[in-house]
C-alpha cells in the first residue's frame, strides 16, 4: 500500500516460547537504521487469544514514551502474521549480566545494582501513568517484570521490555480464571491468589529483581515449580543484609516494603521507589567511587560486543547480497538509433544500371520515397551501417521521417565500430563503381542522345529477379532498319531531384530493368520512322 515502510530481515536475534525476534533494517535513500521485529511463533499465529495478546502489547507499549521503556514503534501484519517493531538495543539483558557475574564468582556492585533498579522503577512509573487518547489513565500493569525483560544498553540506559501480558484495568487482557501469566518466581501474592493486580504487583516483582541483583542468586526458586510460589505466599520477606551486609540500611528497609505480602504495605508508586534508590546511591557515592553502567558493560562484555557486531555485519552483508546481487542491474551507455541523411546520388544513365544491395544486420539504409512517375529512375542506394537496439527498432519509422529533414550525429558504441568501418568502406567502393559507370556512359563512342522528349516505358506487371535483366521481345523477321533507333534521352539531374528509396518500398517494388533493356523492349511508336531494306 502507498507509504508502507519496507523492513528487510537480516537475521534472528532471540526466540522464546511464544514469540521470536529478528533483526531488520529499513532503508530510505541514504537513510539506514536497524530495528528489532517481534513476531508470534508460526504455530501460534492462528491462536485468536495469543494474537489478541500480541496486539495488546503493541497497543500498550506503543503508547508509552520514556527513555527507560522499550517502546513499540510500528505494528502491522503480513502473510506470516502480525508483527511489531521496536528499537534495536545494543546490549545484554539483566539476566545475562547476572549469569555472567555468577559464572565469574562475583556479584554486581551495590551502587550499580541500585542504579539499575532506579531506572527500572522510572520506566514502570511511566507505564503506570500512561493515558489513552482522551487523557484518561489506563492503569497499565506490566505483570512480567523479571531480569529477562530488563535490557541493559551499552549506552548506559536501562529499558523495561516485553509488555506481552500487560493489562489495562477493566480492559481486555484475555485472562481466564485459574490461568497464571508471568514467571512464577516473580508473581506477587495477589496474583497467585488470582486477585486483580495493580501497579503495586509490579513493585513486588521489582523487589525480587533487586534482591537477586544484590544477593547474586535466585530468591523464590523451586525445582518442582510449586515450592517457589508457596514461599511467596507463606514466608516473610527475607533480609538482604544476611546475604549482602554492605547494603545501605535505607535499601534494606525498602526491600522489606517491596516484598510485603499485603499490597497496602508497599510503596504507593514506582516513582517513590526510584527517588529512594537515587538517594541511597548518592550516599554511597560519598564513600566509594561511583560506577556507571555503560563503562561497566564495556569492560565485562567487550569481547561479546565485538563478536556480536561482526556477526550482525556478516548477516547484513549476506542479506544485501541476496536481495541485490552484484551485476543484477547494470546500466551502461545506451545504444541509440542513428538516422543519417546522405545526399541522394544522381540517377545514372548507362547501358546497364548498377544495382547495389549491401544489407547489414544492424544497419539502417538511407531511406527515400518513390512516386509512380519516378519509378523508372534507378538511384544508387548507399547503405549506412548504424547500431540499432531492439527497443528503438520499433520507432524506425519516426527515425526515417526525421532523417528527411536533418542529419544527426550520434556516437556509435565501440563494439559496433569495426563492422561500421567495413560497411562504410563497402559503401565508398559502391559509390566509386557508380561514378565509373557514369563516366563510361558519357565517354566517346557512346550513342548520342536525341532531341526527342523522354517517354517512360510502361512497367511490366511481372516481377523479375533483382539480379536478372528482362530480355527484349523478339523482333519480326523483317530486314533490319538502315539506321538504329534513337536511344531515349534520360532526364537530367537538374530537371527532377531524385528521392531516396525507403527500405519497405524498395522491398515491395518489382526489380527494375536496365534503361537499355527497357528501350529495346519498348514497342515502336507511330511518330518514329524506320527505314527498311527493300
DSSP-assigned beta bridge partners for residue 93 = 151
**What's the pLDDT band for 179 if we cut at 50, 70, 90?**
low
Catalytic choice (56, 144, 162, 202): 144
Q: Is pLDDT above 90 for 243?
A: yes
In the annotation, is 224 catalytic?
no
Of 8-22, 138-152, 269-283, where does mean pLDDT reach its minimum? 8-22
Report pLDDT for 231. 94
Per the model's pLDDT, the better-predicted residue between 168 and 468 turns out to be 168
Q: In this structure, which long-range contacts are made by residues 242-250, counting pairs with CB atoms below 8 Å and at least 24 apart in sequence?
A: 243/214, 243/215, 243/216, 243/217, 244/107, 244/110, 244/214, 244/215, 246/110, 247/110, 247/214, 248/110, 248/280, 248/283, 248/284, 250/276, 250/279, 250/280, 250/283
Q: Residue 509 class from Cβ within 10 Å (0-12 exposed, 13-18 middle, 19+ buried)?
A: middle
With pLDDT > 70 as the criterion, what percentage of the chain qualifies? Answer: 59
Q: Return the half-sphere exposure (C-beta side, CA atoms, 13 A cut-off) of residue 230.
A: 6
CA 470 to CA 135: how far, in whole Å? 101
Domain 92-321, CATH: 1.10.510.10
**What's the pLDDT band for 169 if we cut at 50, 70, 90?**
low
Q: Is pLDDT above 90 for 219?
A: yes
Does an H or E element contain 104, and which? Answer: helix 94-104
Residue written as grid cell 531492439: 390
Report pLDDT for 3. 54
CA 97 to CA 100: how far, in whole Å? 5
User: Mean pLDDT, the chain, as a whole number?
Assistant: 72
**What's the pLDDT band for 493 if we cut at 50, 70, 90?**
very low
Alpha-carbon distance values, 505 to 59, 367, 375, 513 (Å): 73, 9, 11, 17
Span 149-169, average pLDDT: 85
Of 69-83, 202-216, 418-432, where does mean pLDDT reach its minimum? 418-432
**What's the pLDDT band for 241 if we cut at 50, 70, 90?**
very high
Please say whether the beta carbons of 194 and 153 come within 8 A: no
With pLDDT > 90 as the criterion, what percentage of the chain qualifies? Answer: 35
Q: Is pLDDT above 80 for 512?
A: no
User: What SS3 string covers 314-329?
Assistant: HHHHHHHHHHCCCCCC
**What's the pLDDT band for 249 if we cut at 50, 70, 90?**
very high
Q: Is pLDDT above 50 for 326?
A: no
Report pLDDT for 38. 92
Q: Is pLDDT above 90 for 261?
A: yes
Q: Is pLDDT above 60 for 222?
A: yes
User: How far is the first Cα of the chain from the last one, in angstroms, to the nearest whole number?
Assistant: 101
Amino acid at each position: 500500500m502507498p507509504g508502507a515502510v519496507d523492513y528487510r530481515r537480516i537475521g534472528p536475534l532471540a526466540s522464546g516460547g511464544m514469540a521470536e525476534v529478528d533483526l531488520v533494517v529499513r532503508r530510505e535513500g541514504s537513510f539506514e537504521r536497524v530495528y528489532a521485529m517481534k513476531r508470534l511463533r508460526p504455530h501460534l499465529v492462528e491462536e485468536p487469544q495469543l494474537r489478541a495478546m500480541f496486539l495488546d502489547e503493541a497497543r500498550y507499549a506503543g503508547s508509552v514514551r520514556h527513555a527507560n521503556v522499550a517502546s513499540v514503534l510500528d505494528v502491522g501484519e503480513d502473510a506470516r502474521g502480525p508483527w511489531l517493531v521496536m528499537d534495536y538495543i545494543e546490549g545484554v539483558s539483566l539476566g545475562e549480566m547476572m549469569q555472567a557475574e555468577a559464572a565469574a564468582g562475583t556479584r554486581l556492585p551495590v551502587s550499580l545494582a541500585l542504579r539499575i533498579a532506579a531506572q527500572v522503577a522510572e520506566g514502570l512509573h511511566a507505564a503506570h501513568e500512561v493515558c489513552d487518547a482522551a487523557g484518561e489513565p489506563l492503569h497499565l500493569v506490566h505483570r512480567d517484570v523479571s531480569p529477562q525483560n530488563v535490557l541493559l544498553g551499552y549506552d548506559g540506559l536501562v529499558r523495561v521490555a516485553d509488555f506481552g501480558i500487560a493489562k489495562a484495568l477493566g480492559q481486555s487482557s484475555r485472562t481466564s480464571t485459574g490461568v497464571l501469566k508471568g514467571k512464577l518466581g516473580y508473581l506477587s501474592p495477589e496474583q497467585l491468589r488470582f486477585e486483580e493486580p495493580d501497579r503495586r504487583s509490579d513493585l513486588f516483582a521489582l523487589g525480587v529483581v533487586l534482591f537477586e541483583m544484590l544477593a547474586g542468586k535466585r530468591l523464590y526458586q523451586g525445582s518442582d515449580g510449586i515450592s517457589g510460589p508457596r514461599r511467596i505466599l507463606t514466608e516473610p520477606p527475607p533480609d538482604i543484609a544476611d546475604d549482602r551486609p554492605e547494603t545501605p540500611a535505607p535499601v534494606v528497609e525498602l526491600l522489606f516494603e517491596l516484598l510485603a505480602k499485603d499490597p497496602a504495605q508497599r510503596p504507593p508508586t514506582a516513582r517513590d521507589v526510584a527517588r529512594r534508590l537515587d538517594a541511597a546511591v548518592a550516599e554511597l557515592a560519598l564513600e566509594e567511587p561511583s560506577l556507571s553502567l555503560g563503562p561497566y558493560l564495556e569492560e565485562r562484555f567487550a569481547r561479546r560486543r565485538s563478536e556480536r557486531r561482526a556477526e550482525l555485519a556478516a548477516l547484513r552483508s549476506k542479506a544485501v547480497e541476496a536481495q541485490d546481487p552484484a551485476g543484477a542491474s547494470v546500466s551502461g551507455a545506451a545504444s541509440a538509433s542513428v538516422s543519417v541523411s546522405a545526399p541522394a546520388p544522381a540517377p545514372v544513365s548507362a547501358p546497364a544500371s548498377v544495382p547495389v544491395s549491401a544489407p547489414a544486420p544492424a544497419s539502417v539504409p538511407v531511406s527515400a520515397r518513390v512516386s509512380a512517375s519516378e519509378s523508372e529512375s534507378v538511384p544508387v542506394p548507399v547503405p549506412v551501417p548504424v547500431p540499432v537496439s531492439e527497443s528503438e527498432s520499433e520507432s524506425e519509422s519516426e527515425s526515417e521521417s526525421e532523417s528527411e529533414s536533418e542529419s544527426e550525429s550520434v556516437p556509435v558504441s565501440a563494439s559496433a565500430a569495426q563492422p561500421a568501418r567495413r560497411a562504410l568502406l563497402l559503401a565508398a567502393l559502391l559509390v566509386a563503381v557508380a561514378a565509373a559507370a557514369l563516366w563510361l556512359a558519357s565517354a566517346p563512342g557512346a550513342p548520342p542522345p536525341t532531341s526527342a522528349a523522354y517517354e517512360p516505358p510502361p512497367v511490366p506487371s511481372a516481377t523479375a529477379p533483382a539480379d536478372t535483366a528482362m530480355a527484349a521481345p523478339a523482333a519480326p523477321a523483317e530486314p533490319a532498319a538502315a539506321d538504329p533507333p534513337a536511344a531515349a534521352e534520360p532526364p537530367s539531374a537538374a530537371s527532377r531531384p531524385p528521392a531516396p528509396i525507403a527500405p519497405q518500398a524498395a522491398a515491395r517494388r518489382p526489380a527494375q530493368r536496365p534503361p537499355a533493356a527497357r528501350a529495346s523492349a519498348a514497342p515502336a511508336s507511330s511518330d518514329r520512322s524506320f527505314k527498311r531494306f527493300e
